[in-house]
Amino acid sequence: MARKKKNWVPKQGKWDRKSLSKAVQCVKTGKMTKFKSSKIFDIPRTTLSRRLSKMDLESPASKPTTLSKEEEKSLVSHILEMEERGFGLTISDVCKLAYSIIAHSGRKNPFNADKKMAGYDWWQGFRDRHPCLSLRKPEGLSAARGTKLNPNVISDHFTKLGDLMDRLNIKSKPQQIFNADETGFSTVHQTSKIVGRKRKKAIHAETSGERGENITVLCCVNAEAHVLPPMVIFKGKRISQALMSSAPKNTLFACRKSSFIDGELFGIWFEKIFFVQTLTSKTSVADSRWPCLSYYTSSSGGSEENDVEIFCLPPHTTHWIQPLDRSVFGPLKKAYYKHIVNHF
């Protein structure tokens, strides 16, 4: 389908029902021809002819939207809330959400069933119907770094977090407040400082290799210090059984070309680790919501269906206010590299 031209203004639906009724009445009584009536009352002649032949005066001027008004209102609210929390959605994300809504309802729709997403023309119409939405470019890295610890940004973050915790009534329930974060480990350990001759240019220490591979570990712990099984991501296509030996119980293993986590892996971890572990630890109906504090930008759905609220930390500030970064990962890596040194 051809794209809409720049500054294109649709002509469809620019008339009202009262004008249509008057035009139909004038044609039926013989006071005017269809051509004259369409000109005077500003009704498209083809529209007037079709309405006269079917005597349809109640249908709206334009075709009904694929999603209902209530569904579009809910989608807009979700988009704005995700942006507010730091999980800004792309056009592709919004189109996929629109398809999931209509597919869940079981209604027929013109969306692409193979790609499982709405088309770009639908997005343009959706954006035009909701002027509160705008396609924005996120701040660049340099600008974000320049204001990474802005007091206003940090204060606004904790204010919103406090409001969310008040709404969920969980400030006194540390077992329901989780923090998730990922970190990287290298197969070549970092050397510790050693004592040597002063002013000597080069001091060496033995390592396991020149360059190592990165391993990503996704960890999650709640405010009661209950640790969930980790997810370990290796670089490659297959995982050696030797690499999985001596791992903590219920550890989830995965592999990727770059060893970094993505939205798909985060969704797998959420379903197989987070949701399963927290579901088995629920003790009452009052403990049915599990907020997860995370800085992930994944927009995968399903968290609200599982009664989980995901809140995002401000970008480029996690080194200072991310709980796991501040209190866990530093000592963990020191212990990890020390263990490797003792292994030699």
Q: Give the ranges where the chain is alpha helix by DSSP (H).
A: 17-28, 34-40, 45-54, 69-85, 91-105, 120-129, 141-146, 151-168, 263-269, 275-280, 318-321, 323-327, 329-343
Separation between Cα atoms, residue 269 and residue 217, nearest integer Å: 11
The DSSP bridge pattern shows strands 231-235 and 214-222 to be antiparallel
- Give the CB-side neighbour count of residue 189, counting CA atoms within 13 A: 20
pLDDT for 277 equals 82
Q: Which CATH number fits domain 151-189+211-343: 3.30.70, 3.40.50, 3.30.420, 2.60.40?
A: 3.30.420
Q: List strand residue ranges (DSSP E) for 187-230, in order.
A: 214-222
Dig out the tokens for 201 from the structure: 């240019």
The per-residue pLDDT for range 76-130, each reduced to its tens digit, is 999 888 877 767 788 988 999 999 999 988 888 889 889 899 998 899 889 988 9
**Residue 108: CA atoms inside 13 Å, Cβ hemisphere, count?**
0
| pLDDT on residue 280 | 62
Token pair, residue 330, equals 């530093």
Q: Is the pLDDT of residue 343 over 50?
A: yes
What's the mean per-residue pLDDT of the chain? 76
Residue ranges per structural domain of the chain:
6-63, 69-129, 151-189+211-343
- Contacts of residue 287, defined as CB under 8 A and 6 or more positions apart, other chains included, come to 173, 175, 176
Residue 146 to residues 150, 229, 286, 312, Cα–Cα distance (Å): 9, 36, 43, 20
Strands 252-256 and 292-294, how do they pair? unpaired
Computed from CA positions of residues 335, 177, 294, 325, in that sequence, does the dihedral angle turn out positive or negative?
negative
What number is the average pLDDT over the span 163-168? 85
CATH of domain 6-63: 1.10.10.60
Look at the pTM and tell me if it is higher than 0.85. Answer: no
